Structure 1
Amino acid sequence: MGNSVGLKDRLKERLGGSKTRGVALAVLITVVVLLPLVTNNYVEEVVTNTFFYIILALGLNIVIGYAGLVDLGYAAFFAVGAYTTGILMNLGLNFWLTIPIAVFFCIIAGIIIGGPTLRLRSDYLAIVTLGFGEITRIVARNLKITGGASGLVGIQRPSIFGHKLYQITDFYYTFFVLVVLAIIIALRLHNSRLGRAWQYIREDEDAAEAMGIDPVKTKLYAYMIGAAFGGVAGAFFAVKMTAISPETFAFTQSAMILLAVILGGMGKIPGAILGAVFLVFFPEIFRSIGQMRMLFFGILLVIIMVFRPQGLWPERKS
């Protein structure tokens, strides 16, 4: 009898928590949808930039948070997607047709970097991914087709249903839709058989292999899917900015995306989102104090890592 009552209480608590989260999520979505109606272009630009980093953080979270791998060159996938779309659009191809091609090349890049190196672990894998990111940037800076050091300019804005995406509000809602799709995909992956295999490998690769999981193939899937997220983000980034250059994809870009995942909490979708929001909003809020804002930003990061070493939204251990 006592166990039955306890089970009912826990069930009611979970249902109540689910309802509360549902209401909070509905309110948040409503605020995000209506925000452009009550704010200026500057706020829209900041939030759109936040959406962009959320997509990248969710992609890297698959690699680092789900599979427990190290990637210090994630901006390389973002660069491949952006340059693929920019080059193809300058050749006259429709933007929407460039997206699957950009994703394809990013997946190929993920296979190239992951296939020969995923037998490595820890520091060795980190060095390889760092080198891959720098190689991609240097190659982009020296090829004529990528525009060399000057990059690509004059990338046309796309149209959807006859409406040209030109105003910042257009990209605000476009990136918001991309964020929603990225969250849905990340959530489905987390709850899938592949997602559970990633978690087993992350916790104990040897035990996962003993259970019949192919660690190299499974980790390669993480790199491929994470690369696809970066490719899509890069494609939309290229048409939003209408110009891209190699310096946009420097190591600092990879470090910022990595920081968003670690700061928010590796392995958790809300953590990646929260980390990206913090990463973009904090420097903007304190922009009025100039370069000093980065000093306060660094101090705050140290404080968070001391008191919340698992991130702002850590993964709950069952």
Structure 2
Amino acid sequence: MNWFYIQGILILSGINLLAVLGLSLLTGFTGLFSFGHAGFMAIGGYVAAIMTLNFKTPFIISLLLGGFVASLVSLIIGKLTLNLKGDYFCIATLGFGEAIRLILDNIQYFGGARGLAGIPMKTNLTNVLIINIVGVIILANIIRSRHGRNMKAIREEEMASEIIGINVFKYKLISLAISAAYAGIAGGMLAHYLGFLQPRMFQLIKSTELTIIVIFGGLGSISGSIIGALTLTALPEILRTFSQWRLVVYGIAVIFIMISRPQGLMGGYEITIDNIKRFFKKVFSLNKKTETGAD
């Protein structure tokens, strides 16, 4: 296993992480489950690729434009679907993701079913790392802000939030737009890493994978999203020696975590300096009690 191979896994983990961070805001912190984020990734990926290929725009500008267009589309979708309750919103987002894939399949300007080739390969480990750090900082600040607290209130009790004056629809729409922007930028990074895009890369299974990572890491935890993205992206590659059994082992590992720890790995907790200090204080206090009991 050489460095080039490890670097590839880290880059793919970082791309998935950015999309998962956005989905974490929508699902983990606002309480809206989406199975259409592959559609937003597709929009961002194709827009960024076209901007780089046909208009020669700089890499970062192309990514931002991809994120912006994905966010813009999410506002239109949100206006139509966010009044739906419970499972109906999930079904609507699922339909949206599949509709985007089918549309891209039939537009020859984007390469149609054959795909779009010749995209400059500008995504590397350095810019993936920088973009993810910026993404984590922005998300953490959003969650700590008044707006983030309002989103968490909606997740806990939507009706009570509305009664105390929170504009529930507005904050759901904001959460969806930010989430789509993250997914769009992730799609642009994927396009510029592979150098090729095809609509079937953004099937329902991709949206499901992102949702599983969010749940696996822990709803309402940025740290959990990071750990989940790194673990579940790398695990199938680590298990590649098992050949066709690797995805079975991967599935068993996910099911085991879901059964043994339904709240996810982090369960809403964050890895912060203060939490680490508290953890070590507890460990030391337990050791002292054990020593005292032994004496």
Q: Do both proteins adopt the same fold according to a TM-score greater than 0.5, normalized to the shorter chain? A: yes
Preserved contact between residue 87 and residue 145 of structure 1 (Cα < 8 Å): no
- The answer to whether residue 57 in structure 2 is matched with residue 104 in structure 1 is no
Residue 292 (structure 2) aligns with: none
Residue 198 (structure 1) aligns with: 151
Match of 1:88 among 32, 51, 71: 51
1:116 is paired with a residue whose SS is: helix
Opposite residue 47 of structure 1, the aligned amino acid is: L
Match of 2:255 among 302, 306, 317: 302
Residue 202 (structure 2) aligns with: 249
Runs ≥4 residues deviating over 4 A: none
Match of 2:242 among 269, 277, 289: 289
- The answer to whether residue 158 in structure 2 is matched with residue 174 in structure 1 is no
1:236 is paired with a residue whose SS is: helix
2:246 is paired with a residue whose SS is: helix
User: For the residues of structure 2 that align with 1:112 and 1:228, how far apart are their CA atoms?
Assistant: 14
* Cα distance, 1:39 vs structure 2: 5.5
Opposite residue 214 of structure 1, the aligned amino acid is: N
Residue 239 (structure 1) aligns with: 192
1:291 is paired with a residue whose SS is: helix
Residue 9 (structure 2) aligns with: 46
- The answer to whether residue 25 in structure 2 is matched with residue 72 in structure 1 is no
Residue 152 (structure 1) aligns with: 116
Q: What is the identity percentage for the equivalent residue pairs of Structure 1 and Structure 2?
A: 35
- The answer to whether residue 94 in structure 2 is matched with residue 130 in structure 1 is yes
Greater shift in the superposed pair: 128-137 or 295-304: 295-304
User: For the residues of structure 2 that align with 1:295 and 1:108, how far apart are their CA atoms?
Assistant: 38
Greater shift in the superposed pair: 237-246 or 198-207: 237-246
- The answer to whether residue 105 in structure 2 is matched with residue 141 in structure 1 is yes
Preserved contact between residue 113 and residue 199 of structure 2 (Cα < 8 Å): yes
Preserved contact between residue 57 and residue 261 of structure 1 (Cα < 8 Å): yes
User: For the residues of structure 1 that align with 2:31 and 2:90, how far apart are their CA atoms?
Assistant: 12
Preserved contact between residue 133 and residue 251 of structure 1 (Cα < 8 Å): yes
Opposite residue 278 of structure 1, the aligned amino acid is: T
Match of 1:57 among 20, 30, 55: 20
Opposite residue 269 of structure 1, the aligned amino acid is: I
Q: Deviations over 1:184-223 (max 9, x none)?
A: 0111011011100000000000000011111111100000
Q: Deviations over 1:84-113 (max 9, x none)?
A: 011222213313332332222111111111
* Cα distance, 1:278 vs structure 2: 1.6
1:290 is paired with a residue whose SS is: helix
Opposite residue 146 of structure 1, the aligned amino acid is: F
| Structure 1 unaligned regions, length at least 5 | 1-37, 158-164
* Cα distance, 1:294 vs structure 2: 1.4
Residue 160 (structure 2) aligns with: 207
| Structure 2 unaligned regions, length at least 5 | 271-295
Aligned pair count reads 269
* Cα distance, 1:295 vs structure 2: 1.4
User: For the residues of structure 2 that align with 1:122 and 1:198, how far apart are their CA atoms?
Assistant: 16
Q: Deviations over 1:119-178 (max 9, x none)?
A: 112110010000000000000000111110011111124xxxxxxx4xxxx701111111
Preserved contact between residue 102 and residue 231 of structure 1 (Cα < 8 Å): yes
Preserved contact between residue 75 and residue 173 of structure 2 (Cα < 8 Å): yes
The normalised TM-score by structure 2 is 0.88
Residue 275 (structure 1) aligns with: 228
User: For the residues of structure 1 that align with 2:211 and 2:144, how far apart are their CA atoms?
Assistant: 23
RMSD (CA atoms)? 1.6
1:91 is paired with a residue whose SS is: helix
Residue 30 (structure 1) aligns with: none
Residue 162 (structure 1) aligns with: none
User: For the residues of structure 2 that align with 1:316 and 1:263, how far apart are their CA atoms?
Assistant: 13
